[in-house]
Amino acid sequence: MNWALLMKLTLKSILNRKFTSGLTLFSICISVFLLLSVDTVRKEAKHSFTNTISGTDLLVGARSGSVQLLLYSVFRIGNATNNIGWDSYQKISSHKSVAWAIPISLGDSHKGYRVMGTTQDYFKHYRFADDRGLDFEQGKHFDGVYDAVIGAEIAESLGYKIGDQLTLAHGVNDTGFSRHDDKPFILTGILARTGTPVDR
């Protein structure tokens, strides 16, 4: 078989069908581009999740969808459909198969930023980006009921420093009637930047 002759005939055939050949080539290019884009987005989503939380095997919450629980508890997106009671948390955390547990409660906000209620175990056990722990840029973790710790993004955008008072609002909207003006929190710590939702 004469390969040179075959290549010449193929090239002439392609040139005779310029529009169809161009359209086919364009379709192949678009398909490859879309395939690579989807793969890149998939890898970035997995990398983003791994950077946000690591070393955690199980998320437990009230009955809802698993994706909704993940978005709510890890990424602070959306709202909880329901909460579990403190007695349920204690029962789960004291189970022999549970090494550690961190309770979180969302619902209040401060100037558009969500507020998370938790215990000091959050600073001890929370890991992100391949087992990195939380560090403090300034101050320390909370000790009292009305102590607060904020993320780096909030400290930067609102200009807070240790000792400042924070007034929370019930829900995400910061309206006058929903504010807890009678119970201000004292800022005791500012976390170092993590590149995760913890910063907010």
Domain boundaries, the chain: 3-50, 53-199
Does the pTM of the predicted model rise above 0.85? Answer: no
The arrangement of strands across the sheet holding 105-110 comes to: 113-117, 105-110, 169-170
Write the single-letter amino acid at 142: F
Q: What is the pLDDT of residue 135?
A: 94
pLDDT per residue rounded down to tens, the chain (200 residues)? 677 877 888 788 777 777 887 888 899 999 999 999 999 988 887 777 777 888 888 888 888 888 888 888 888 887 777 788 899 999 999 999 999 999 998 888 888 888 899 999 999 999 988 788 999 999 999 999 999 999 999 999 999 999 999 988 887 766 555 677 788 999 999 999 998 889 98
Per-residue burial over 131-153, b = 16 or more CB atoms within 10 Å of its CB, e = otherwise: eeebeeeebebbeeeeebbbbbb
CA 108 to chain centre: 18
Work out whether strand 127-128 and strand 113-117 pair parallel, antiparallel, or are unpaired. Answer: unpaired
CB 170 within 8 A of CB 107: yes
What residues contact 139, with CB distance under 8 A and at least 6 apart? 149, 162, 187, 188, 189, 190
Contact of 193 with 107, CB cutoff 8 Å: no
What is the pLDDT at residue 119? 92
Model pLDDT, residue 62: 84
What are the residues whose beta carbons fall under 8 Å from the beta carbon of 175, sequence distance 6 or more?
169
Q: Which residues fall within 8 angstroms of residue 32, CB to CB, at 6 or more apart?
A: none
Q: How far does CA 130 lie from the centroid of its chain?
A: 15
- φ, ψ of residue 131 to 5 degrees: the values are 75, 30
